Amino acid sequence: MNYNESEIDAGIRDLVNLINKIPFVKTNSSCEGHVENPYAREAPITPDMDEVLIRSGGLSFYVDGQLDVSELPKITIDHFNHPLAEEFLSRLEKLTKKYPFTELRLLNAYNSKEPKPDYYFRIWNDGRAPYAVGMERKKQMGEVWTDVEKLCRDFIDEFGLGN
């Protein structure tokens, strides 16, 4: 493990640990998403508030692949080394159909050592909202991460990737 677990949001810490067990996936950033007091970030939110601030969640990760840099920005999921990479991304993409406020997208294909596809699974719902809407979004974010964790666990089990 090349990351400090205490720096990972508690609500997705297990997911980050799990997804990093998939041999061809490595996370590089994560955020579970937050519902906050719009006036003071560290202040509590309470039911009597008119509105809350919703901050998106996301999981950014590299997928093992061999890329020809001349192909950028035309990268597609058929550029991967690992035979299961396309299947994994396809399953994540299906979750975006279940949750229309999520997306899976290619961020870039560069890092300092070698070109790699950098994907971002994002829950996009930033902005101010009434308290009740904010609480519903918070619940939905938790459901999304639960489903992503289940997807990863099922994938690891199905293909015998656990270690």
Q: Is residue 96 part of a domain?
A: yes
The C-alpha atoms of residue 120 and residue 134 are separated, in whole angstroms, by 23
What pLDDT is recorded for position 83? 81
Residue 61's domain is classified under what CATH number? 3.30.1960
| 112: three-class secondary structure by DSSP | coil
Q: Is residue 78 part of a domain?
A: yes
Judge if the upstream peptide bond of residue 73 is cis by omega within 30 degrees of 0. yes
Q: Is residue 110 part of a domain?
A: yes
Span 86-135, pLDDT tens digits:
899 999 999 999 999 999 988 765 555 555 567 889 998 789 999 999 99
User: Which domain does 111 fall in, by range?
Assistant: 5-158
Give 79's DSSP letter: G
Q: Is residue 79 part of a domain?
A: yes
Share of the chain above pLDDT 90, in %: 56
Span 36-79, pLDDT tens digits:
999 988 899 999 999 999 999 999 888 875 444 444 444 444 55
Q: Is residue 163 part of a domain?
A: no
Q: Which residues contact 84 (CB under 8 A, 6 or more apart)?
A: 24, 155, 159, 161
| Total number of domains in the chain | 1
Determine the Cα angle at 130 with ends 42 and 94, to 5°. Answer: 90
